[in-house]
Amino acid sequence: MPPVRTANEKKQWGRTKRGSQAQSTNFLGSTSRISGPTARPLPRGKENTPVHRSSSHVVSSPYLTASVTFTHSDDAFLALERRSTTYEKRCRNLTRKVSRATDRHTQVLQLVEDLREELLSTRKSSSQYTASLQRQLADLTDELTQIKNNQLELHARHTQLARRKKRCQRRSHLSSQSLKDGGIISPDIHACVRDLVAMGAPLEGVGKMIHAVAKGLNIHINNNISTRSAGRIVIEGGVAAQLQIVDAVKNTDHFTGAGDGTSHKHLNYETKLIAVNHKVLGLGIAQTPDHTSEEQMAGWHNIVAEMYQTYDESPLGKLYPEDPRT
């Protein structure tokens, strides 16, 4: 495909071609370039001198040989011209390629410079961004530490509040009991006081023992039992025991009495009991001067007389009095 020429290239190429054609024109009408000493114009008026073949005089001219040479060299000049044209085309193509390569090289250099500037800017911005991220990381680390400390503090408060809640629940679940009913100690508390005294509890410690046991059972006691009340309850229990014994003997056909005695630190003690209808009723322990039969019998008389006297003084005994001799 022939190369495409611009307007300036076409003008320059036309001038060069016309100059080459003018230089190559000779007297025979050939367009080939003439070289050598014979390449000069002929004298005026002697061009195309006719020569007859039959003439014995032959006009000798040095230009005759040159014309023959020029005729045979036309093809060579044409080939050289074509080669010159081809080389010129190649030169123009190479010039264009070099120009384009130069432009591309310049563009590449400019692109490299732009990329270098962009890289420097990116490094600078990345350094600033990295520093900003490090500051943010430090702030977040401090914030996380503060959050963990707050979490530990809240956990401790939660544990403390949970314990308080449990204590409040236990306190709310405590049943409230009263030792008195309308200001009077109930019969159940009477029995409890007598049991405690029988197990060896002192009178002044009965109320404290009741409160201690109630606290262990999560029971709240509203009031207390004084030492005087505890003593009276014990005395009432003794009177009730005597009434019970007399009532049991009264309602039985047969009973059996027994007794025994001992001494402790030079003091004599006797105990007596009565068996009624497969029940053993204790008559208590009393101190005696000695262990003689007379003293033991006197002890029996005194205990029985005291029990029956107590029974006869009671409301039931006043309605149905009893005689120990019967």
pLDDT in tens, 220-261: 888 888 889 989 999 988 888 888 888 888 888 778 888 888
pLDDT category at 127 given cuts 50, 70, 90 is: confident
Q: What are the structure tokens assigned to 140, written together? A: 């977040």
More confident residue, 15 or 265: 265
Mean pLDDT rounded to a whole number for the chain: 77
CA distances (Å), origin 183, targets 99, 192, 229, 240: 127, 17, 12, 22
What are residue 183's phi and psi, to 5 degrees? 85, 0
3-state DSSP helix/strand/coil % of the chain, to nearest 5? 65, 10, 25
Give the C-alpha separation, 273 to 122, whole Å: 115
Residues in the chain, total? 326
Which class would CATH give 240-326?
Answer: alpha beta
Beta bridge partners of 176: 220
Q: Sign of torsion, CA 289 290 294 297?
A: positive
pLDDT in tens, 21-53: 444 444 334 444 444 444 444 444 444 444 444
Evaluate whether 239 touches 220 at the Cβ level (below 8 Å).
Answer: no
Q: What is the pLDDT of residue 104?
A: 92
Element containing residue 262 per DSSP (H, E): strand 256-264
Closest to 41 measured CA to CA, from 27, 28, 52: 27
pLDDT category at 146 given cuts 50, 70, 90 is: very high
Give the C-alpha separation, 238 to 283, whole Å: 10
pLDDT in tens, 266-275: 888 888 888 8
Element containing residue 276 per DSSP (H, E): strand 267-276
Structural domain spans, the chain: 85-172, 174-225, 240-326
Q: Which residue has tokens 């509203």?
A: 222
Q: What is the pTM of this model?
A: 0.37
Q: What is the mean pLDDT of residues 1-5?
A: 51
